[in-house]
């Protein structure tokens, strides 16, 4: 069966067409800078990548380009050949504890979470509606980033604020990147032939979160009520003292929306370095001796190390640590710095093994107290597998 996986971000859209259950990828693509000047997309088929420069004003236009590429590259002759479409949705609140078939009721419920994930949920729902209009007879499935984290215990997801905030307004920790963390746990458990592992999953990239997992159950995760919480990221601050917000509002004469825009879009790597939100640019700045790039890298790696140490304690010693996503899979220096900062736990990286990118590999030395792996994530495959299971 041909399953189309759609993973839309605030200004991007990734897609894969996967033949299941064989897990054969027929085509994939990545639309970038949607709604921003200089938009483009890459199509990869038969190990060839082709870049197309084009103006993409919104996600609906990206969907039209996507459909054209499926026909142009002979993936399908009719849209009816797509047996199901799986959509990544960032927020399902505590309503959706697993993936679901999309209908009008599900869409209405999802729209209620737009205030909780304003950068991601609206464009994702716009994509869903565009696909429903283009393929009205094809079943659509919603796969929620928050669903995996619904296995957390109450003492982990309740904040120490007035309990009425939770009862009336749903103020609690939700967690994100759940589709990726679930894929990482599934992969490492199968590779090590152990379904009861205690895993620290480090999804570190432009967006970043860490998850402590015990036998497939989420114990805790770094993102919280929104994707702004937890680690420092490409443009997001991560955890800060909440009293900073009214202080900056007063001293900079900014509205609360303007301050939150700064925390979401002008903080993290870009905020500290003043150079870029892209870790590759930060590493280049470090090579050139840029002190603020060095500072940004040191803050980032220390934040990740702190969470690893905390989650190792929560799990009463992890069985394995996994690095994934853009930085986790591809930045040799970042992985090394993070592991060096938890050396007190007996974690040791083998520099030769760590000298690799983008593939499953053990990177720790034989005398490391906890094995460390790089595990490439594949949210699109996870989305496709969930979609196949539901449309059966």
Task: Report, as residue numbers or ranges, the catalytic residues.
Answer: 145
Q: How far is Cα 127 from Cα 209, in angstroms, rounded to an integer?
A: 25
The residues with which 85 forms a beta bridge, in sequence order, are 4, 140
Do the beta carbons of residue 246 and residue 264 sit within 8 Å?
no
Packing angle of the helix pair 121-134, 59-72 (nearest 10 deg): 40
Q: Which residues contact 268 (CB under 8 A, 6 or more apart)?
A: 232, 233, 234, 235, 236, 237, 238, 277, 300
User: From CA 357, how far away is CA 335, in angstroms rounded?
Assistant: 11
Q: Strand 208-214 and strand 100-101: pairing?
A: unpaired
Identify whether the C-beta of residue 8 lies closer than 8 Å to the C-beta of residue 110. Answer: no
* HSE-up of residue 311 (Cα within 13 Å, Cβ side): 29
Closest by Cα among 285, 291, 305, 181 to 231: 305
Cis preceding-peptide flag for 332 (omega within 30 of 0): no
CA atoms within 13 A on the CB side of 183: 24
Identify the H or E element spanning 88. strand 84-89
Left if phi > 0, otherwise alpha if psi is -120 to 50, otherwise beta: which for 238? left
The CA-based angle 255-265-171, given to 5 degrees, is: 70
Distance CA 222, CA 303 (A): 11
**For the chain, percent helix, then strand, then coil, each to nearest 5?**
40, 20, 40
- Residue 51 pairs with which residues in a beta bridge? 42
- Give strand pairing partners of 208: 204
Residue 336: Cβ-neighbour burial (10 angstroms; 0-12, 13-18, 19+): middle
How many angstroms separate the most distant Cα atoms in the chain?
60
């Amino acid at each position: 069966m041909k399953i189309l996986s759609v993973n839309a971000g605030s200004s991007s859209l990734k897609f894969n067409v996967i033949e299941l259950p064989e897990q054969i990828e027929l085509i994939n693509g990545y639309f970038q800078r949607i709604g921003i000047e200089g938009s483009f997309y890459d199509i990869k088929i038969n190990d060839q990548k082709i870049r197309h420069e084009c103006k993409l004003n919104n996600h609906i236009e990206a969907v039209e380009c996507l459909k054209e590429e499926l026909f142009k590259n002979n993936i399908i002759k009719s849209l009816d050949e797509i047996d199901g479409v799986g959509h990544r949705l960032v927020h399902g609140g505590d309503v959706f504890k697993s993936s679901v078939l999309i209908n009008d009721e599900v869409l209405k419920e999802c729209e209620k979470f737009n205030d909780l994930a304003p950068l991601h949920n609206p464009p994702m729902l716009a994509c869903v509606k565009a696909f429903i209009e283009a393929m009205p007879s094809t079943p659509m499935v919603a796969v929620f980033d928050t669903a995996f984290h619904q296995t957390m215990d109450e003492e982990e997801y309740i904040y120490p604020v007035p309990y009425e905030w939770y009862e009336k307004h749903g103020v609690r920790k939700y967690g994100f990147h759940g589709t990726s963390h679930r894929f990482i746990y599934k992969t490492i458990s199968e590779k090590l032939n152990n379904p009861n592992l205690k895993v620290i999953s480090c999804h570190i990239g432009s967006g970043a979160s860490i998850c402590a997992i015990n036998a497939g159950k989420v114990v805790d995760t770094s993102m919280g009520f929104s994707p702004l919480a937890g680690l420092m990221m490409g443009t997001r601050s991560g955890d800060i003292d909440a009293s900073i917000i009214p202080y900056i509002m007063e001293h900079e004469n900014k509205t609360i929306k303007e301050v939150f825009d700064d925390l979401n879009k002008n903080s993290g790597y870009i905020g500290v370095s003043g150079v870029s939100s892209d870790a590759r640019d930060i590493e280049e700045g470090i090579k050139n001796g840029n002190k603020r790039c060095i500072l940004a890298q040191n803050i980032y790696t220390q934040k990740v190390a702190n969470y690893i140490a905390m989650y190792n304690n929560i799990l009463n010693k992890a069985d394995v640590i996994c690095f994934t996503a853009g930085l986790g899979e591809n930045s040799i220096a970042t992985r090394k710095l993070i592991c060096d900062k938890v050396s007190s736990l007996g974690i040791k990286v083998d520099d030769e093994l760590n000298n690799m990118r983008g593939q499953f590999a053990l990177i720790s030395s034989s005398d490391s107290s906890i094995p460390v792996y790089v595990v490439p994530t594949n949210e699109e495959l996870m989305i496709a597998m969930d979609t196949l299971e539901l449309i059966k």
